[in-house]
């Protein structure tokens, strides 16, 4: 964990882009306790802290991959800021629901200018998320090993006891299935 | 599946993968990017594939985060256990407070008890200088008495009392030791015996402690009588308070 703290932002960014799980774990375990204290001080509990933090971690990781993290900015501080903002948002939304329930008046949220874009993006991600859930266990495992764990074809072939041509074909079919599921969800939802 | 645009070819997918997994050489990448920017259809296909690719990665990250979080789960259990422990401690403390209040209500000190506590100080005892006396046993007990070991002192002095039941000094200090222990009745007996010796050097003190013993037993009348026999500043002050 200490090494992760000493790593420069560039190293952390590279590690996030390559899904380096050791580095991501170190960042996760460094920032989560700080965020949890923040949540505890602001009317939240353990489960809420975990849920909001994991969503924030995903956002942070996605933004890093899309090169949205500014140069020279501290990745851990960036993650903490995202999480803090998401917590504020969470508290507001709870309050928002309560306001409607209490007097039937809908309060406009003015601090979200690109709300429509955000909503569209969220819808797309949800469709993909649902598709991943619907994908069979074998496909899910295979794709995660390739794309997230970044295992080599040799390793995966050995693991599945199949030749590489079969594994390649399996991978192709799984992606095709995932795409079909995502399109179905998007069109129906 | 037929309802939607056809999926890309396996070769195309593998090319996209190589770009996203950063497996292309610089040259390969440059030529691929050039093609991508020139072909809007290809670009659209790539963007779509990228989203699917990211969705798989995200699912992987979600799985991994559960294992990142396990250390905190262990910690949580500890926190909960500690919380529970404190919870029970709080309940125990509340019960204790209620009980103490109840006990205090029933045995709360009477005004005389309060006066006793205010005016009672244990007799400091006699100086025990080695070699000045041959009454070794008596002074040995005196050492214990001065150290607050009243039970040991009492045992030793009571042994001496068997030999000389009317010794005013032994009786007086036995009374002192018992009163220090809070046993007023026993103390009163010994102080009274002290007074049997008419010329006892302890008679003044014996009367004072008898008054305090009486106070402890909530017998104001007797306390007043004994105080009248003492006639020093402290006794007169206490007497005044009792007569108010």
What's the mean pLDDT when you consider all of chain A?
83
Q: Is A79 at the interface with chain B, CB within 8 A?
A: no
Both tokens of B137, joined, read: 């046993």
Whether B190 and B178 have beta carbons less than 8 Å apart is answered as yes
Is a pLDDT exceeding 50 seen at residue A101?
Answer: no
Q: Give the residue among A146, A161, A36 at the shortest CA–CA distance from B23.
A: A146
What is the DSSP code (8-state) at residue A147? Answer: I
In the predicted model, what is the mean pLDDT of residues B90-94? 75
Q: What is the pLDDT of residues B8-23, one digit of tens each?
A: 999 999 999 999 998 9
Q: Is the dihedral of CA A137, A143, A145, A147 positive or negative?
A: negative
Q: Is the pLDDT of residue B135 over 80?
A: no
pLDDT of residue A80: 96
Please check the confidence at residue B241 and state whether its pLDDT lies above 80. Answer: yes
Question: Is A65 close to B54, i.e. CB distance below 8 A?
Answer: yes
Token code pair at residue B139: 């002074």
Question: What pLDDT, on the 0 to 100 scale, is given for residue B117?
Answer: 85
Q: What's the pLDDT band for A139 if we cut at 50, 70, 90?
A: very high
- Of the candidates A29, A124, A140, the beta carbon closest to that of B68 is on A29
Which residues on A lie below 8 Å from B76 (Cβ)? 46
Token pair, residue A58, equals 């995903």
Look up the pTM and report it. 0.55
**Residue scoring higher pLDDT (A70 or B79):** A70
Residue B93 has pLDDT above 80, yes or no: no
Q: What gap in Å lies between CA A164 and CA A174, rounded to an integer?
A: 15
Provide the pLDDT for residue A1: 45
| CB spacing of B10 vs A128 below 8 angstroms | no
> The domain at B115-243 falls in which architecture?
Alpha Horseshoe (1.25)
Categorize the per-residue pLDDT at B197 as very low, low, confident or very high, splitting at 50, 70 and 90. Answer: confident
d(CA B26, CA B160): 109
**A142 has pLDDT over 50:** yes
Residues of chain B positioned with their CB less than 8 A from the CB of A65:
54
Q: Is the pLDDT of residue B64 over 60?
A: yes
The average pLDDT across B84-89 equals 61
Helix %, strand %, coil % for chain A, to 5? Answer: 80, 0, 20
| pLDDT at residue B6 in the model | 85
Q: How far is B13 from chain A (nearest CA, A)?
A: 7
Query: Three-state SS for B130?
Result: coil
Tell me the average pLDDT across B152-175.
Answer: 89
Query: CA torsion sign, B88 to B93 to B98 to B103?
Result: positive
Q: Comparing C-alpha atoms, which of B181, B157, B188, B156 is closest to residue B170?
A: B157
CA–CA gap between residue B85 and residue B70 (Å, rounded): 23
Any CB–CB contact under 8 A between B63 and chain A? yes
**Cα(B20)–Cα(B29) distance, integer angstroms:** 10
> pLDDT, tens digit, for every residue of A158-178?
988 999 999 999 999 999 999
Angle, helices A164-188 vs A153-160, to 10°: value is 90
B128 or B75, which is more confident? B128
What's the mean pLDDT when you consider all of chain B?
Answer: 84
The per-residue pLDDT for range A2-44, each reduced to its tens digit, is 444 445 778 889 999 999 999 999 999 999 999 999 999 988 8
Give residue-wise pLDDT tens across range A46-99.
999 999 999 999 999 999 998 888 877 889 999 999 999 999 988 887 655 554
Are A143 and B56 in contact (CB < 8 Å)? Answer: yes
Has residue B175 got a pLDDT over 60? Answer: yes
**Would you say the C-alpha torsion A13, A19, A20, A24 has a positive or negative sign?**
positive
Q: What ipTM score was computed for the predicted complex, to two decimals?
A: 0.83
CA B160/CA B153 separation, integer angstroms: 11
Whether residue B42 has pLDDT greater than 80: yes
């Amino acid at each position: 964990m200490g090494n992760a703290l000493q790593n420069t932002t560039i190293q952390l960014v590279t590690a996030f882009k390559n899904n380096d799980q050791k580095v991501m774990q170190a960042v996760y375990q460094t920032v989560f306790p700080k965020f949890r204290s923040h949540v505890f001080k602001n009317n939240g509990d353990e489960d809420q802290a975990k849920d909001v933090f994991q969503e924030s971690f995903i956002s942070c990781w996605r933004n890093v991959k899309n090169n949205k993290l500014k140069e020279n900015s501290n990745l851990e501080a960036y993650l903490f800021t995202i999480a803090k903002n998401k917590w504020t948002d969470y508290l507001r939304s709870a309050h928002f629901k309560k306001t409607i329930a209490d007097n039937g008046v809908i309060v406009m949220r003015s601090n979200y200018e690109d709300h429509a874009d955000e909503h569209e993006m969220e819808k797309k991600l949800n469709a993909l998320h649902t598709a991943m859930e619907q994908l069979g266990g074998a496909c899910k495992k295979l794709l995660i090993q390739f794309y997230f764990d970044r295992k080599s074809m040799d390793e995966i072939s050995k693991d599945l006891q199949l030749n590489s041509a079969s594994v390649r074909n399996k991978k192709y079919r799984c992606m095709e299935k995932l795409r079909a599921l995502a399109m179905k969800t998007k069109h129906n939802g | 599946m037929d309802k939607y645009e056809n999926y890309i070819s396996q070769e195309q997918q593998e090319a996209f993968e190589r770009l996203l997994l950063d497996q292309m050489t610089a040259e390969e990448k440059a030529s691929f990017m050039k093609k991508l920017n020139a072909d809007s259809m290809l670009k659209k296909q790539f963007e779509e594939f990228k989203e699917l690719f990211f969705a798989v990665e995200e699912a992987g990250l979600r799985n991994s985060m559960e294992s990142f979080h396990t250390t905190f789960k262990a910690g949580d259990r500890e926190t909960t256990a500690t919380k529970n422990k404190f919870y029970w401690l709080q309940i125990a403390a509340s019960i204790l407070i209620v009980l103490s209040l109840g006990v205090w209500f029933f045995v709360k000190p009477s005004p005389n008890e309060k006066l006793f506590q205010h005016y009672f100080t244990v007799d400091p005892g006699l100086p025990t200088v080695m070699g000045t006396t041959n009454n070794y046993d008596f002074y040995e007990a005196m050492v214990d008495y001065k150290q607050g070991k009243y039970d040991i002192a009492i045992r030793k002095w009571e042994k001496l009392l068997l030999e000389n039941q009317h010794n005013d000094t032994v009786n007086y200090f036995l009374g002192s030791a018992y009163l220090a222990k809070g046993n007023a009745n026993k103390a009163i007996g010994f102080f009274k015996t002290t007074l049997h010796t008419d010329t006892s050097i302890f008679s003044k003190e014996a009367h004072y402690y008898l008054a305090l013993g009486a106070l402890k037993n909530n017998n104001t009348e007797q306390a007043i009588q004994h105080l009248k026999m003492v006639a020093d500043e402290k006794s007169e002050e206490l007497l005044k308070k009792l007569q108010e």
